[in-house]
Structure 1
Amino acid sequence: MASDATTASAPVPIVAIVGPTASGKTALSLDLAEALGGEVVNTDAMQVYRGMDIGTAKLPLAERRGIPHHLLDTLEVSEPATVAEFQGWARAAIAELRARGATPVLVGGSALYTRAILDRFDFPGTDPAVRERLEAELAEVGSAVLHARLRELDPVAAERIEVENGRRVVRALEVIEITGTPFSARLPEAEYVDPHTVQLGVAIDKELLHERIAIRVRRMFDDGLVEEVERLLSLGLATSRTAGLAIGYRQAMAVLAGEMTREEAIESTIVATRKFARRQMAWWRNDPRITWLDHDDPDLLAKAVDVVRALR
């Protein structure tokens, strides 16, 4: 009974690792999972897709240290996925892990997905007629025109949504139209669904981050990103409403179409990834609940474990 009482007074924590792409989140997630007896839950919107390995920096199976990973390789590239669906999948995985005493260690680059999983966030309804009209307009004039409209109506939302992500631009405009309020006002509240939640941020100097992004992107192309995309095109990548928007994959498709040289695609991907890192930080920099730790701190793991254990 004493053991049961101890368990009841100390629920298994939910641990989320956040920070910009290429900052070192993956390595910390493995170290923490080992230290805490945990398993990793992916929160990257693109790593759920089978075959999207090189361009998403998906950790190969042989490098996962035998630690189970959840929400990796669960969809075909032709299948769309919404934030609401991902929220449900991730919360179910977290509940299953905690039920058997394993610590969920969330890691991934999709800030909205992480917030939707951790925080109180009920998704606004949809209006099929409004959605159909906006999607028809998207097909006619392109995402840049609709994004410019979004920037006028809701600059905060526009800052967080890529110009090229027509699906999310349409969703934001739909919510604004049917609710009469900014889409950004409907974003997750900064209140955890479960108070036994901790966020650890991996901090890194901007200039160093830019260097690491450039190195990572060039390595991706050297490792066969264009060839990976060529294989995925036969599976529906080009027409996918979700997977086809991934940074690097768009550029690789342009290489295959003769619209970009390989070097132009690399430079374009580096620029897009750096912009993506800035958008990621727009989500996190003002969240006082995050404990930021230096990426190169020799005591990084020990400090991260201390933060988690202090929650208990």
Structure 2
Amino acid sequence: MLGLKRRGQLLLDALLVILGPTGVGKTEVAIELAKRIRAEIISADSRQIYKEMDIGTAKPSSAVRQKVPHHLIDLVFPDEIFDVAGFKARAEAIIKELQKKDKLPILVGGSGLYIKAVMDGLFIGPGADWKLREKLKKKEKKEGRGTLHQELERVDPTTASRLHPHDQRRIIRALEVYHLSGKPISSYQTQFPSTLTNAVMIGLERERESLFRLINERVDRMVAGGLIEEVESLLSKGYSKDLPSLQGLGYQQIIGHLKGEYPEEEAIRLVKRDTRRFAKRQMSWFKRDKRILWIDTEEFSSFTEISDKIMDILMKKIPQI
């Protein structure tokens, strides 16, 4: 099993990032890699942090996690707050600890802001203005869902393009920064140079229709695996449907069905549609980062072959591995 090598007494600050749209196979490739080298996986998924939300977030099974250590999964309960600043602090601490142990940290996920926070730093911005936040919430409630996202599109189209129209918490934060500073939050988030000199960013992609087919199939597997029952269980435990954790893909649409708004078939259709739309936004976000080396997964017949390709890239980019 391969590991990191030392130059003198200093461990090189090597980091591998595997990113891409939902459903493309990031986790499977990372697991294949981690089995072959001294590596551990750090999840960069803003939904896998939640306990009791396993099926809808596509968490690796407990059996897989026993074989390959995973970090930053099951951190908080669905009604607890966890933000990107908390993720950044924990991820950086784990990265440093793994490097000290001669292990390669593999940061894996599709949450662009989480990955950017680790790679480029984090803009904290103006402090919270609770009166403004409440005013914005009331505006959304009065004028209809999507109103705040439309406002964000006018003042900060870059940020609006990567946020789901129903991601009220992040939309309000972006509008808050704009109203308090006069600048879009996206302008601040481009001011940090990379501090990780030995980081390799690998993006996995595939042709759109092929990706959409995989997404549809994955949603079907989630439903067959108990997604609806998982959502029922969360609601029965008293978790509010309005929690940020339950506003995510899969959960929001299933909740609508359970509340009697539409039949199960329509809920599944909405999950598939919204997941495909989310994948498109993910790719738009990632394609702006020129540091990413892209791999077309359709050119390979297995996750093992993709991991072989990544190993070739690593040996060239970080010869010390």
For normalisation by structure 1, the TM-score amounts to: 0.93
CA distance in structure 1 between the partners assigned to 2:294 and 2:192 by the alignment: 17
CA contact (8 A) 1:38 1:105 kept: yes
Q: Which structure 2 residues correspond to residues 177-216 of structure 1 after superposition, within 5 A?
A: 177-189=179-191, 191-216=193-218
Unaligned runs of 5+ in 1: none
Unaligned runs of 5+ in 2: none
Q: Which residue of 2 aligns with 1:34?
A: 35
CA contact (8 A) 2:126 2:181 kept: no
Aligned residue pair count: 309
Cα offsets for 1:207-263 (capped at 9, x unmatched): 100101111111111211111011111344435542111101001111111112111
Q: Which residue of 2 aligns with 1:163?
A: 165
CA change 1:293–1:181 in 2 (3 A) is same
Aligned partner letter, 1:52 = M
Q: Which residue of 2 aligns with 1:233?
A: 235
Once superposed, what is the RMSD of the aligned Cα atoms?
1.9
Aligned partner letter, 1:311 = K
Q: Which residue of 2 aligns with 1:99?
A: 100
CA contact (8 A) 1:120 1:189 kept: no
Identical-residue share of aligned pairs (%): 36
CA change 1:156–1:170 in 2 (3 A) is same
CA contact (8 A) 1:78 1:239 kept: no
Q: Which structure 2 residues correspond to residues 1-312 of structure 1 after superposition, within 5 A?
A: 5-6=7-8, 8=10, 11-64=12-65, 66-126=67-127, 127-189=129-191, 191-239=193-241, 241-296=243-298, 297-298=300-301, 299-312=305-318
SS of structure 2 residue aligned to 1:263: helix
CA contact (8 A) 1:46 1:56 kept: yes
Cα offsets for 1:17-43 (capped at 9, x unmatched): 011111111111112222331100011
CA contact (8 A) 1:16 1:198 kept: yes
CA change 1:119–1:69 in 2 (3 A) is same
Q: 4+ residue stretches of structure 1 with deviation over 4 A?
A: none
Aligned partner letter, 1:75 = V
For normalisation by structure 2, the TM-score amounts to: 0.90
Cα offsets for 1:185-222 (capped at 9, x unmatched): 12254732221111111121111001011111111112
Range 258-267 or range 185-194, more displaced: 185-194
Q: CA deviation at 1:183?
A: 2.2
SS of structure 2 residue aligned to 1:15: strand
Aligned partner letter, 1:94 = I
CA change 1:103–1:236 in 2 (3 A) is farther
SS of structure 2 residue aligned to 1:44: coil
Range 294-303 or range 73-82, more displaced: 294-303
CA distance in structure 1 between the partners assigned to 2:25 and 2:216 by the alignment: 15
